């Protein structure tokens, strides 16, 4: 007789690794999925076609209490953990990638930065309104000559009585022109390079602030990406976020949560793709049999499902560790790099599996192909993620040699 196997359940108290979601995380995901499938998925194609900013979806996110969900209740949040937040970005992106990124920028890139670096007065002034959805947030770092190398930004902030005057031009701001508050990064001490950048919270109506028209894009067309133009914009001292000259640290730290959000967007897009192509394979017949009955087609589906699961595990691990306060820059970049890569490859593979149907404008698969590509570009391109991973990896090896 073989020795009795001790089930994992019985020894779970002694195990460090547990892949189960908590009941609260399950419930949050179920609520996010229900909202997204009921309200966002049916309208995603219309928004893609009209390019209209989906304010309706943003207001629904506010009504259902998803905005700023990771913040403490004192500031209007729900005190949710970071994995729950990632699950929500995944579900919203699965239904509508545009809504996924609007939600992600508002939460990770804007509200969390205000919470992490703001004074108590700033937190109380800005966060409850962001959480109630009365105000939409944006994050403006990129400039014409400062994308991957964001520290090369040239927007200038000059000291004046009571505050600063900002001049310059930002490009590619998500929620641009629609958002009410912008986290804007500008040079305050040119001689100190990346140690001379400051973050400002600038309201949409500030005199001298204007916006370019929404850019025509390959995908996520309704997400409003614009230039932000600053002509001698006065920003009072009480709208400086964090310490003067230490804004670049805020920009980079904020991208940790942001990259988790984009990895979740990639996972959501790939899940939507698998849902779509698996259903198609079960229905479509060629040579008298369903595509789903062909081993060659099954092999593609199996690989897509495996990529999806691997991306999801990297994402959940990074989100969980980040939420625990662990420094996981490398793991976050791995999650974004891998999730975006398999999302792009998976949407293309699905389009191929669907034949001419997958190439038709206005179909779900065609939109998912277009929407997936941006996950490899924003919040650090895939090359930048590889650089971050390699740098951390080599530093670990060097530590071992000391």
Ligand X SMILES: Cc1cc2nc3c(=O)[nH]c(=O)nc-3n(C[C@H](O)[C@H](O)[C@H](O)COP(=O)(O)OP(=O)(O)OC[C@H]3O[C@@H](n4cnc5c(N)ncnc54)[C@H](O)[C@@H]3O)c2cc1C
- Residues annotated catalytic, as ranges: 379
Q: How many whole angstroms separate alpha carbon 280 and alpha carbon 60?
A: 31
Closer by beta carbon to ligand X, 164 or else 172:
172
Q: How far apart are CB 176 and ligand X at their closest, in Å?
A: 7
On whether the CB atoms of residues 267 and 339 are closer than 8 A, the answer is yes
Q: How many whole angstroms separate alpha carbon 15 and alpha carbon 270?
A: 31
Closer by beta carbon to ligand X, 79 or else 144:
144
Q: How many whole angstroms separate alpha carbon 396 and alpha carbon 242?
A: 31
Residues that bind ligand X (CB under 6 A): 105, 139-142, 147-148, 172-174, 217, 225, 374, 377-381, 383-384
Closer by beta carbon to ligand X, 99 or else 142:
142
Handedness of CA 77, 82, 86, 87 (dihedral sign): negative
Q: How many whole angstroms separate alpha carbon 178 and alpha carbon 82?
A: 26
Q: How far apart are CB 263 and ligand X at their closest, in Å?
A: 15
Q: How far apart are CB 391 and ligand X at their closest, in Å?
A: 11
DSSP H or E run through 168: strand 163-174
Closer by beta carbon to ligand X, 43 or else 170:
170
Cβ burial of 401 (10 Å; 0-12, 13-18, 19+) is exposed
Reference 388, options 347, 344, 342, 328; nearest CA is 328
Residue 7: how many CB atoms within 10 A of its CB?
A: 8
Q: How far apart are CB 159 and ligand X at their closest, in Å?
A: 24
Measured from each CB, the residue nearest to ligand X is 147
The bridge status of strand 181-187 relative to strand 137-140 is: parallel
Q: Tokens at residue 188, please?
A: 């305050």
Q: How far apart are CB 378 and ligand X at their closest, in Å?
A: 4
Handedness of CA 310, 40, 370, 359 (dihedral sign): positive
Closer by beta carbon to ligand X, 29 or else 367:
367
Q: How far apart are CB 380 and ligand X at their closest, in Å?
A: 6
- Biggest CA pair distance of the chain: 85
Q: How far apart are CB 383 and ligand X at their closest, in Å?
A: 3
DSSP H or E run through 199: strand 197-203
Closer by beta carbon to ligand X, 12 or else 148:
148
Closer by beta carbon to ligand X, 122 or else 225:
225
Cβ burial of 39 (10 Å; 0-12, 13-18, 19+) is middle
Reference 105, options 141, 81, 129; nearest CA is 141
The bridge status of strand 289-290 relative to strand 285-286 is: antiparallel
> How far separated are the first and last CA of the chain, in Å rounded?
51
């Amino acid at each position: 007789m073989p020795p009795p196997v001790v089930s994992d359940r019985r020894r779970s108290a002694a195990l460090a690794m547990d892949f189960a979601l908590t009941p609260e995380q399950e419930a949050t995901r179920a609520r996010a999925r229900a909202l997204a499938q009921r309200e966002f998925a049916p309208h995603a194609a219309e928004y893609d076609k009209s390019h209209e900013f989906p304010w309706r979806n943003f207001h629904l996110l506010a009504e259902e209490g998803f905005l700023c969900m990771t913040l403490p209740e004192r500031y209007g949040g729900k005190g949710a953990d970071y994995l729950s937040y990632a699950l929500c970005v995944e579900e919203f992106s699965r239904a509508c990638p545009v809504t996924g990124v609007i939600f992600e920028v508002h939460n990770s890139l804007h509200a969390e930065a205000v919470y992490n670096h703001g004074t108590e007065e700033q937190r109380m002034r800005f966060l409850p309104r962001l959480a109630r959805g009365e105000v939409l947030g944006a994050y403006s770092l990129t400039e014409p000559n400062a994308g991957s190398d964001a520290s090369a930004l040239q927007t200038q902030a000059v000291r004046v009585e009571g505050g600063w005057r900002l001049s310059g031009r930002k490009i590619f701001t998500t929620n641009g022109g629609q958002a009410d508050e912008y986290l804007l990064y500008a040079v305050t001490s040119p001689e100190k390079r990346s140690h001379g950048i400051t973050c400002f919270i600038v309201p949409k109506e500030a005199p001298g602030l204007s916006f370019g028209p929404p850019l025509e894009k390959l995908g996520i067309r309704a997400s409003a990406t614009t230039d932000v133009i600053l002509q001698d914009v006065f920003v009072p001292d009480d709208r400086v976020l964090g310490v003067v000259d230490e804004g670049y640290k805020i920009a980079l730290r904020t991208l940790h949560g942001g990259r988790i959000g984009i990895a979740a967007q990639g996972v959501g897009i790939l899940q939507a793709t698998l849902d779509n192509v698996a259903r198609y394979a079960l229905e479509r017949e060629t040579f008298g049999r369903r595509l789903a009955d062909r081993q060659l087609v099954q092999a593609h589906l199996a690989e897509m499902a495996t990529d999806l699961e691997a991306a999801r595990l990297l994402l959940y691990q990074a989100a969980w560790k980040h939420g625990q306060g662990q420094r996981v820059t490398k793991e976050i970049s791995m999650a974004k790099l891998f999730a975006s890569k398999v999302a792009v490859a998976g949407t293309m593979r699905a389009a191929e599996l669907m034949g001419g149907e997958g190439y038709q404008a206005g179909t779900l698969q065609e939109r998912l192909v277009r929407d997936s590509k941006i996950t490899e570009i924003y919040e650090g391109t895939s090359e930048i993620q590889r650089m971050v991973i390699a740098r951390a990896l080599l530093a670990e090896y060097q530590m071992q040699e000391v």
